[in-house]
Amino acid sequence: MVAIAYRNASCIYSGADTLAVDSLDLDIDDGEFVVLVGPSGSGKSTALRMLAGLEAIDEGSIEIGGKDVTDVPSKDRDIAMVFQNYALYPNKTVAENMGFALKMRGIPPDERRRKVRKVAALLDLTEYLDRKPAKLSGGQRQRVAMGRAIVREPQVFCMDEPLSNLDAKLRVQTRTQIAALQRRLGTTTVYVTHDQVEAMTMGDRVAVLRGGKLQQFASPAELYDRPVNTFVAGFIGSPAMNLITAPIVAEGVRIGSSVLELERDQIALLHEEKLVTVTVGVRPEQFELTEAGIEATVELIESLGSESFIHTHTEPDIRLVARCPGRAPVALAETVRLRKRPESIVHLFHPDSGHRLGA
Ligand code: ADP
Ligand code: MG
């Protein structure tokens, strides 16, 4: 078990004009489950591969267990990787696949068998040990890939979108299993995904990347409650936070013919910043449908059974999404009024930089 540190670590691919990972600074605790999340091309896989020693660290350094591994070859870093593409040996059985790394290490057959059996039990694979991968379901293959990593008892697990090949239901099941398993083993884990729900449900802490740059590194709750900029605000949460840039008036901001009220200290802050417009952020569940509030027309209703998302637009053309429990109490093309729930706080961001303003 070890802590991991990225120290201003950068990677640039030859021929590229921007850094794939740009001065990444992360302190990962011993035993922690950290998720790297961001859109496609944001540098997640590169950052993970730098840790695993599969990509060069062109600037800065990476430490594992307090030791600088920047120049240590991959095989000496004691890391096990799980990829999206499991790449199991098709001609070997599950047991042989899982035990292969141990065999290469020269571990005697008896001990190998014991270790493989133990991990197979952990992953519900005992009855499949003699099967070939072709005779397994996608979920079982995924577990074999996990098992192959766990058997090695590495210091660190690196996982790059390991659930991408599974169907939606299995993905949800497996993500719970992986998170529980990691907690049980206590092995420091860095997990890459583009799926913010996976990030929020699995990670002790989540690092949000964009264009190779770290945006925010925090607990899921902190990311949700206090996003540092409009990018994180819009990326975390589904449906996305409503982000509206609007003129500042005495009690709040003007949206169409209505005013979205802000707290007194928020208005004071906007005056201090000498702003005339501000970007406000309101999560869909912070809106309620009432008699008073922002007038809007319903253009789409998504009914999920337990909750509904009501997509609306206002005059002038601003799109607002509200979430309500159960069935939507409104119909398509109906005019509704959206009001911020009294107990909820509106997020404020600088209209140009997108940085969070205030607490
Ligand atoms: P992610 O995993 O977040 O989708 P990557 O780390 O794969 O992102 O890629 C980050 C950036 O580096 C992207 O702009 C991508 O096009 C570029 N990149 C990735 N791999 C290579 C490579 N082998 N050669 C050149 N550029 C690459
Ligand atoms: Mg990737």
Question: Residue 246 belongs to a domain with what CATH number?
Answer: 2.40.50.140
User: Does a structural domain hold residue 308?
Assistant: yes
Query: Does 262 share its domain with 213?
Result: no
Q: Quick check: 200 and 175 in contact, CB under 8 A?
A: no
Q: What is the mean pLDDT of residues 298-309?
A: 96
Is the per-residue pLDDT at 61 higher than 90? yes
User: Does a structural domain hold residue 357?
Assistant: no
Burial of 316 (0-12, 13-18, 19+ CB in 10 A): exposed
Query: Does 45 share its domain with 178?
Result: yes
Residue 7, CA distances (Å) to 28, 61, 69, 172, 312 in order: 11, 5, 11, 33, 45
Query: Does 315 share its domain with 172?
Result: no
Query: Does 211 share its domain with 262?
Result: no
Q: For a pocket test of ligand 1, which of 46, 83, 161 has the largest count of ligand atoms closer than 8 A to its C-beta?
A: 46
Length of the chain: 359
Indicate the pLDDT class of residue 66, thresholds 50, 70 and 90. Answer: very high
Q: What is the mean pLDDT of residues 242-265?
A: 94
**pLDDT for the residue 82:** 93
CA of 37 from ligand 2 middle (Å) equals 10
CA distance 70 to 57: 7
Q: For a pocket test of ligand 1, which of 10, 17, 45, 54 has the largest count of ligand atoms closer than 8 A to its C-beta?
A: 45
Number of independent structural domains in the chain:
2
User: Does a structural domain hold residue 354?
Assistant: no
Indicate the pLDDT class of residue 67, thresholds 50, 70 and 90. Answer: very high
**pLDDT for the residue 58:** 97
Residue 44 CB–ligand 1 contact under 6 Å: yes
CA of 11 from ligand 1 middle (Å) equals 10
Ligand number with the minimum distance to the CA of 55: 1
Query: Does 249 share its domain with 222?
Result: no
Q: Could you tell me the CATH number of the domain that includes residue 203?
A: 3.40.50.300
**pLDDT for the residue 84:** 85
Residue 46 CB–ligand 1 contact under 6 Å: yes
Query: What would the pLDDT profile of 93-126 be if each residue is shown by its tens digit?
Result: 999 999 999 999 999 999 999 999 999 998 999 9
Residue 16 CB–ligand 1 contact under 6 Å: yes
Q: For a pocket test of ligand 1, which of 6, 11, 13, 35 has the largest count of ligand atoms closer than 8 A to its C-beta?
A: 13
Residue 22 CB–ligand 1 contact under 6 Å: no
Query: Does 202 share its domain with 257?
Result: no
Which residues are CB-contacts of 118 (< 8 A; sequence separation ≥ 6)?
A: none
Residue 42 CB–ligand 1 contact under 6 Å: yes
- Residues spanned by the domain of 319: 239-349
Which residues are CB-contacts of 287 (< 8 A; sequence separation ≥ 6)?
A: 242, 320, 321, 322, 323, 338, 339, 340, 341
Q: Quick check: 284 and 347 in contact, CB under 8 A?
A: no
Residue 89 CB–ligand 1 contact under 6 Å: no
CA of 193 from ligand 2 middle (Å) equals 8
Query: Does 219 share its domain with 122?
Result: yes
Residue 129 CB–ligand 1 contact under 6 Å: no
- Of ligand 1's listed atoms, the one at least distance from the Cα of 18 is 14
Query: Does 14 share its domain with 36?
Result: yes
What integer best gives the mean pLDDT of the chain? 95
